[in-house]
Amino acid sequence: MPNSKQQPRRGFSMNIILDSNILFSALIKDSITRKLILGYKGHFLFPSYIFDELQKHKVRLVDISGMSTDDFSILLQMLLSKVMIIPSEIIRGHKEEAYNLVKDIDPEDVIFIACALAFPHSILWSEDKRLKRQGKVKVMNTKEMMNILIL
């Protein structure tokens, strides 16, 4: 069950937002991404709307992963135990600014940028290099995340 009782830190500490493709990558392949997420001592932030995406792609993700449905569900629960779900109400007030930042880059990533804007000093973990062009939210790929998550 995702962790929703703890509160993300606003304004004074590092919060890491997971792009849905990072979570999907950790689900389908036993990779450094999965190891980083499961080994991290803290919690990642994840917009609540992403559960819709997850449900939409679940059958395909199970198939690509090569796991049984039961094993996939166990892994999903393990990964989600490392996540704090951010309700859409918190993100909603930042969507317009986020849209203006990424409308010419990738409008589908508005929700992740909005989540990062809601929590100052956040890092968005994403493999989408184009998102770095927006300049307001720090975006790091997996290789860069290794440098800060592996202590």
Per-residue confidence at 5, pLDDT binned at 50, 70, 90? Answer: very low
Q: Is the pLDDT of residue 53 over 90?
A: no
Q: Is residue 8 part of a domain?
A: no
Count of domains forming the chain: 1
Can you give the CATH number for the domain in which 41 is found?
Answer: 3.40.50.1010
Q: Is residue 5 part of a domain?
A: no
The contacts of residue 141 (CB under 8 Å, 6+ apart) are 125, 126, 127, 129
pLDDT at 95: 96
Q: Is the pLDDT of residue 1 over 70?
A: no
Q: Is the pLDDT of residue 118 over 70?
A: yes
Q: How far apart are the two ends of the chain, measured CA to CA in Å?
A: 27
State what percent of residues in the chain have pLDDT above 90.
75
Q: Is residue 4 part of a domain?
A: no
pLDDT at 2: 45
Say how far apart CA 135 and CA 100 lie, in whole Å: 12
The residue-averaged pLDDT of 23-39 equals 95
10 Å Cβ neighbour count for 117?
A: 18
User: Domain of 43?
Assistant: 15-149
Q: Is residue 19 part of a domain?
A: yes
Q: Is residue 106 part of a domain?
A: yes
- Element (DSSP H or E) covering residue 64: helix 50-65
3-class secondary-structure state, position 28: helix
The residue-averaged pLDDT of 22-45 equals 94
pLDDT at 136: 94
Q: Is the pLDDT of residue 85 over 80?
A: yes
